[in-house]
Structure 1
Amino acid sequence: MRAAAMTLALFLGLSGVTAASAAQPTLPTGCGQAPPVRPGTTERFTLGSGGTEREYLLHVPDGYQRDKPSPVILAFHGAGGTDTVLEAFSDLSTLDAIVLYPQGLKGSEGTAWQGAPYASSADDVRFVQDLLDRTETDLCVDTTRIFATGKSNGGGFTALLACRLADRIAAFAPVAGAYYPGTTQGCESSPPVPMLEFHGTEDAVIHYEGGVRHGARYPAIGDWLTTWTEKDHCSAGKERRVAEDVVELEWSDCVAGAEVRHYRVEGGGHTWPGATQDSGSGDTTQSISATKTIWRFFQDHPRRS
């Protein structure tokens, strides 16, 4: 009887050790080491990808801790743009997140991202995968909170990533996106994802009602949203005015924790809402901050296991 009691106590003791061990998740690979960038600063780096040397800016937030996994935001500039300019007008580096600003390669119309008719032949999706691999090796990354945003052509590329890298990126937020046919490659079999979009009704570059540019037709924003609400299997959405010039359309009853949300900026141009520096042609609303809204959306949508 005493032996049985001792055996039971030993079993319970070992079970407690096992449970305690299970409650201590293993930190990601890059945790515990000094970051390659002093917290609170941004530096330029290069990375070989697909046989080409690629560049990107890395911003590490001021409150970064080497043993506390941090979220990551990928931010893509527009056609002809640069990583530096995007960082300046978006203010994404003010957020409590590691921010990666990749630099696009030159295509027929200047720097651009995969999916646009004027982009180079580079495999930018692979570049993003390689960049995430390096970042997860060098920094303490919360791999359930990796997000993507971008402006114009960078917004279109963000939509492409939603179809191609949903297994690594949790949520997506294009701004004034250029949704050319090439940005839908791989979407047929990709899973539902949270999608947030901003677009001005007076965008003279990528028209709200759709059009043709660089010989390629792009959809009206309403049609593009319908594609995503159907893909995410959302039920009827709701509409509300959040400012004198901004209307929010939201579809939150979607499968797998997905959500589709859109901010229609009435009179808005090809710009980043809330930007105080030049972010494109046309009017820039100050009634809503794209950066703050994107951050709240990202925080609400970590990747589901």
Structure 2
Amino acid sequence: MFTSAVILSLLASVSAWTYPSPGCSNGAGFKLDSTGRVNRTLPSGRTYLFHLPGAYNASNGAHPLVLSFHGAGGTSANQERLSQFSQDGLLINELPIIAAYPQGANNAAENRTGVWYSAPYYNKTVDDVQFAKDIVTDIQNAYCVDRIRIYASGKSNGGGFTAYLACRPDTSVLFAAFAPVSPALYPESLAFKGCNPARAVPIINAHGVLDTTIPFAGRNDTNGTYGVGVATINVPLWRRQWAIRNGCKTDVPAVQTNPYPNTTEMIWRCNTTFQAYTVSNLGHSWPTTGALDASGAPNNTASFNLTSPAMITFFDVNPLPFQYIPGYKA
């Protein structure tokens, strides 16, 4: 029989396992500016902002990668600022984070800038899913990326797209875990029917109760702010349905606490974990103590920073199981 010490030791060794990308052996890297950034243009013509942490060192091992998708009308640069994934000192599996901030496509037909699939106003002439995959491939070939520690996050329309990526058979096994923040959960996001992940999916989510752009309780189709007939889905119901989808026999959370002022945390632990933060005094903003996300103003200051420690900790304990890496043999 294993002792507690042996079990903890085994868990620690498993958490340290990595699956290196091609760039670990032959990655040439990108031409970066003095801050470790570059705006990359892919062969498709799509662009993303790339950030390499100053402490990156391929000889230390394969590094985690986080993609973060901005909201409708947003920019990759603004998403970097509010999500803080380029902040010094953030570690997953004890290594610094490589970060990518994709730029959404414009939809001139509906006078929309920077939008993603999963919303009624997305640009139907581009393939946002393939764009996300292309970014991952581009970075994996240039740098030493841990293929079991690639994560997707996003805000608003980008959060809805992140939720959609969690629902797909292919992308649910490309990304290890998902972090939709104030997600725009339109019917097109497949938040309910049509959601078909290849596995139980780890998700961390946050939403402000004072959000008037993507209301916490959902919205009927009479509001024309984002297009006639555009409804959004009830967030608490979406959370509970994910818990059932992930194997829970009940939609009642296993844990409910108040870890920060004005914040309720709910956790469902079944075949995997769904962790949710409900912030009572927050509007349509990524939770930060510094009011970094102006879109929820004047209610855009939280009592905690969602990215660190909550999101980073969640990512850290949720690597992708090895069997989902193409070509993996036990």
Q: Does TM, scored on the shorter chain, surpass 0.5?
A: yes
Aligned residues: percent identity? 35
Which 4+ runs in 1 deviate beyond 3 A?
A: 24-27, 37-40
Q: Which of 197, 203, 206 is the aligned partner of 1:198?
A: 206
Q: Say whether residues 1:210 and 2:200 are aligned partners.
A: no
Q: Which of 41, 44, 60 is the aligned partner of 1:46?
A: 41
How many angstroms apart in 2 are the aligned matches of 1:104 and 1:41? 22
Compare 200-209 and 240-249 and name the one that shifted more: 240-249
The structure whose residues are more often strand, as a share, is 1
What is the identity, as a one-letter code, of the residue corresponding to 1:297? F
How far is the alpha carbon of 1:286 from its aligned partner? 3.3
Q: Say whether residues 1:284 and 2:300 are aligned partners.
A: yes
Query: How many residues end up aligned between the 2 structures?
Result: 276
Q: Would you say the 8 A contact 2:18–2:148 is kept in 1? A: no
DSSP 3-state at the match of 2:158: helix
Compare 164-173 and 27-36 and name the one that shifted more: 27-36
* Correspondence list, 1:10-89, <5 A: 27-32=20-25, 33-38=27-32, 41-49=36-44, 53-67=45-59, 68-89=61-82
2:10 match: none
Q: 1:279 to 1:170 in 2, by over 3 A?
A: farther
How far is the alpha carbon of 1:66 from its aligned partner? 2.2
Q: Would you say the 8 A contact 1:90–1:275 is kept in 2? A: no
Gaps in structure 1 of 5+ consecutive residues: 1-23
How far is the alpha carbon of 1:188 from its aligned partner? 3.0
Q: Would you say the 8 A contact 1:75–1:102 is kept in 2? A: yes
2:122 match: 119
Cα offsets for 1:156-193 (capped at 9, x unmatched): 00001111201110000111110111111851354210
* Correspondence list, 1:118-267, <5 A: 118-121=121-124, 122-164=126-168, 165-184=171-190, 187-188=195-196, 190-212=198-220, 213-214=226-227, 215-235=229-249, 236-237=252-253, 238-252=255-269, 254-255=270-271, 258-267=272-281
What is the identity, as a one-letter code, of the residue corresponding to 1:141? V
Choose 1 or 2 for highest CA Rg.
1
Compare 294-303 and 28-37 and name the one that shifted more: 28-37
How many angstroms apart in 1 are the aligned matches of 2:197 and 2:75? 32
What is the identity, as a one-letter code, of the residue corresponding to 1:87? E
Q: 1:183 to 1:190 in 2, by over 3 A?
A: farther
How many angstroms apart in 2 are the aligned matches of 1:125 and 1:36? 23
How far is the alpha carbon of 1:62 from its aligned partner? 1.2
2:8 match: none
How many angstroms apart in 1 are the aligned matches of 2:278 and 2:40? 36
Gaps in structure 2 of 5+ consecutive residues: 1-16, 91-95, 221-225, 323-330
Q: 1:268 to 1:54 in 2, by over 3 A?
A: same
User: What is the RMSD computed on CA atoms of the aligned residues?
Assistant: 2.0
How many angstroms apart in 1 are the aligned matches of 2:19 and 2:245? 34
Q: TM-score, normalised by structure 2?
A: 0.79
Q: 1:45 to 1:209 in 2, by over 3 A?
A: same
Q: Would you say the 8 A contact 1:163–1:191 is kept in 2? A: no
Q: 1:301 to 1:103 in 2, by over 3 A?
A: same
Q: Would you say the 8 A contact 1:179–1:219 is kept in 2? A: yes
Cα offsets for 1:61-91 (capped at 9, x unmatched): 1111123210000000000000011112221
DSSP 3-state at the match of 2:114: strand
Q: 1:41 to 1:163 in 2, by over 3 A?
A: same
Cα offsets for 1:38-82 (capped at 9, x unmatched): 585111010023xxx100011011111123210000000000000
How far is the alpha carbon of 1:37 from its aligned partner? 4.8
DSSP 3-state at the match of 1:285: coil
DSSP 3-state at the match of 2:287: coil
DSSP 3-state at the match of 1:261: strand
Q: TM-score, normalised by structure 1?
A: 0.85
How many angstroms apart in 2 are the aligned matches of 1:145 and 1:220? 30
2:312 match: 295
